[in-house]
C-alpha cells in the first residue's frame, strides 16, 4: 500500500504561542481540525491571561493550557507546533512528542534569529523576508534544520502589524504543507549553515527602540523606526528651544502622525523644525539632509500641538527658535540605542529558492 498525505492518520497537535501571529496559525489549524485533517487541537500559552491566542481559542471552544514544562502530559499529542512562543522548550518536553516539534519563524533563517524578526526586518530596510519552518532544537532558539522556506518581497512601506499579517498568512501555507507530508519535509531538511542568508540576531526590543536621535538618524531610518515600533511605543526625543527674552530650555516630547516628505531642499541642521501649513506638518531635519514630517508634538505635561500651534507658539516671536535633539543615556531608565544598520551585502540578492 502506498501511503499518501490523505491516507495518513490525522495528527494530534499542541500549538504553543500567544500573540496575533499565533492566532492566525491557530485559525488555520482549526480549519484543518474541523474537516478531520487533525485529530486533536489544543493551545498552550506563556503570555498573559487575555493574550490574543487565548481569546481566540476560547471563542473556538478549544482547550487552553498555561506553559508548564513539568507536570503536563505532552505525550497526549503527536507533535508540537511553535508560533511566536518566546520560551525555551527543553529536551525533556521535546522527547515526549513522537514527532518532535516544528517552529514557524517569520524570517529567512539564519537571518534574524530571535524574538523580534519582523521588527528588525523593517529597521534594517530589508528588501525581502519570508517564513522558515524549522525543527525545534534543544540546543537553542531558532537553530534547528529548515524544512521549508518561502520568500516574500517587500515594498518598503510595511508597518510591523501589516507584516505580521502577511507573514502569518504565508506561514499558514508553509505549516499546512509541512504537516500534510512531514516525512518528506524532514527528508528535504537543510542545515541553516547551508543557506545563503546572512546570520543575524533579533534581540528582544524595548522602548528605547522608539527614541529618535536626530544627530545620527537619516530620514529613512526615522521612517523605518516609525513603521517598526511606532505602534508599540511613543516616538520620543527632546525639544530644545529659546528666544531673545528667555534662555535656552529643553523638555522631553513625543511625536505622532509621521508622514514621508520630499522637499527637494536639504535641511541645514539635524533636528531643525519647519512648519508647512499647507500640509499641516512639522518638518524635522534629519542627519542626511532629508526631512521627516509629523502632524503633532506633545511636550510632557502639556497639551498636544499641531503644526500651526507649533508655529504660533514656540516659533511665534522674533528671535525664537526650536529644534529636536536625542535623549541622553539612561533616559526613561534605559540606555540609548544606535540605529540599526545593515552590514555590507547583507541584503544582496540570492539564487536560493525552495
Q: What is the pLDDT of residue 128?
A: 97
Distance CA 177, CA 180 (A): 5
Provide the whole-model pTM: 0.87
Mean pLDDT of 255-284: 91
Residue 255: what pLDDT?
Answer: 97
68 or 351, which is more confident: 68
Confidence of residue 215 (pLDDT cuts 50, 70, 90): very high
CB 81 within 8 A of CB 101: yes
Domain positions in the chain: 8-202, 207-333
Does the pLDDT at position 126 exceed 60?
yes
* Residues 83 and 16 sit within 8 Å (Cβ to Cβ): yes
pLDDT at 197 over 90: no
Residue 208 has pLDDT above 90, yes or no: yes
DSSP label at residue 27: H
What is the b/e burial string over 138-162, where b = at least 16 CB atoms within 10 angstroms of the residue's CB? beebbbbbbbbbbebebeeebebee
Query: What does the pLDDT read at residue 331?
Result: 53
User: Would the CATH topology of 8-202 be identical to that of 207-333?
Assistant: no
pLDDT at 347 over 50: no
pLDDT of residue 184: 96
The answer on pLDDT for 285 being more than 80 is yes
Which of the listed CATH numbers 3.10.25.10, 3.20.20.70, 3.90.1490.10, 3.30.70.100 matches domain 207-333?
3.10.25.10
Mean pLDDT of the 133-158 span: 92
Hey, what long-range contacts does 225-229 have (CB within 8 A, 24 or more apart)?
A: 225/123, 225/339, 226/258, 227/122, 227/157, 227/158, 227/159, 227/160, 228/119, 228/120, 228/122, 228/123, 228/159, 228/160, 229/119, 229/160, 229/205
Using the predicted structure, report yes or no on whether residue 344 has a pLDDT greater than 90. no
Q: What confidence score (pLDDT) does residue 153 get? A: 98
Lowest-pLDDT range of 36-40, 225-229, 247-251, 276-280: 247-251
Question: What is the mean pLDDT of the segment spanning 296-316?
Answer: 88
Contacts by 135-141, CB closer than 8 A, 24 or more apart: 135/100, 135/101, 135/102, 135/103, 135/186, 135/189, 136/80, 136/82, 136/89, 136/94, 136/100, 136/101, 136/102, 136/103, 138/89, 138/90, 138/91, 138/94, 140/88, 141/88, 141/113, 141/114, 141/115
What DSSP element (H or E) covers 76? Answer: none
CATH architecture of 8-202: 3-Layer(aba) Sandwich (3.40)
Measured distance CA(220)–CA(125) in Å, rounded: 9
110: DSSP letter = T
- CB-CB contact of 64 with 57 (8 Å): yes
Q: Residue 321 pairs with which residues in a beta bridge?
A: 242
Amino acid at each position: 500500500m502506498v501511503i499518501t498525505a490523505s491516507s495518513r492518520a490525522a495528527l494530534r497537535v499542541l500549538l504553543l504561542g500567544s500573540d496575533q501571529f499565533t492566532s492566525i496559525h491557530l485559525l488555520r489549524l482549526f480549519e484543518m481540525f474541523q474537516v478531520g485533517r487533525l485529530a486533536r487541537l489544543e493551545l498552550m500559552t506563556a503570555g498573559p491571561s487575555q493574550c490574543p491566542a487565548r481569546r481566540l481559542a476560547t471563542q473556538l471552544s478549544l482547550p487552553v493550557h498555561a506553559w508548564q514544562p513539568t507536570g503536563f502530559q505532552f505525550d497526549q499529542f503527536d507533535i508540537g507546533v511553535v508560533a511566536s512562543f518566546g520560551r525555551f522548550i527543553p529536551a525533556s518536553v521535546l522527547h515526549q512528542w513522537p514527532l518532535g516539534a516544528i517552529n514557524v519563524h517569520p524570517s529567512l533563517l539564519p537571518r534574524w534569529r530571535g524574538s523580534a524578526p519582523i521588527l528588525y526586518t523593517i529597521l534594517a530596510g530589508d528588501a525581502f523576508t519570508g517564513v522558515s519552518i524549522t525543527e525545534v532544537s534543544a540546543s537553542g532558539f531558532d537553530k534547528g534544520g529548515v524544512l521549508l522556506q518561502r520568500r516574500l518581497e517587500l515594498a518598503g512601506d510595511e508597518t510591523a502589524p501589516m507584516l505580521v499579517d502577511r507573514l502569518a498568512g504565508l506561514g499558514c501555507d508553509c505549516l499546512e504543507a509541512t504537516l500534510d507530508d512531514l516525512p518528506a519535509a524532514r527528508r528535504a531538511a537543510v542545515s541553516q549553515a547551508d543557506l545563503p542568508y546572512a546570520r543575524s540576531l533579533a534581540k528582544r526590543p524595548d522602548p528605547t527602540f522608539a527614541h529618535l536621535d536626530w544627530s545620527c538618524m537619516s530620514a529613512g531610518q526615522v521612517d523605518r523606526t516609525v513603521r517598526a515600533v511606532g505602534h508599540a511605543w511613543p516616538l520620543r526625543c527632546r525639544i530644545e528651544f529659546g528666544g531673545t527674552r528667555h534662555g535656552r530650555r529643553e523638555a522631553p516630547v513625543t511625536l505622532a502622525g509621521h508622514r514621508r516628505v520630499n522637499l527637494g531642499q536639504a535641511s541645514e541642521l539635524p533636528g531643525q523644525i519647519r512648519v508647512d501649513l499647507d500640509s499641516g506638518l512639522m518638518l524635522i531635519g534629519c542627519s542626511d539632509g532629508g526631512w521627516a514630517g509629523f502632524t503633532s508634538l506633545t511636550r510632557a505635561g502639556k497639551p498636544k500641538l499641531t503644526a500651526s500651534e507649533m508655529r504660533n507658539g514656540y516659533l511665534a516671536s522674533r528671535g525664537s527658535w526650536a529644534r529636536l535633539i536625542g535623549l541622553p543615556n539612561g533616559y526613561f531608565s534605559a540606555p540609548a540605542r544606535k540605529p540599526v544598520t545593515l552590514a555590507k551585502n547583507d541584503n544582496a540578492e540570492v539564487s536560493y529558492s525552495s
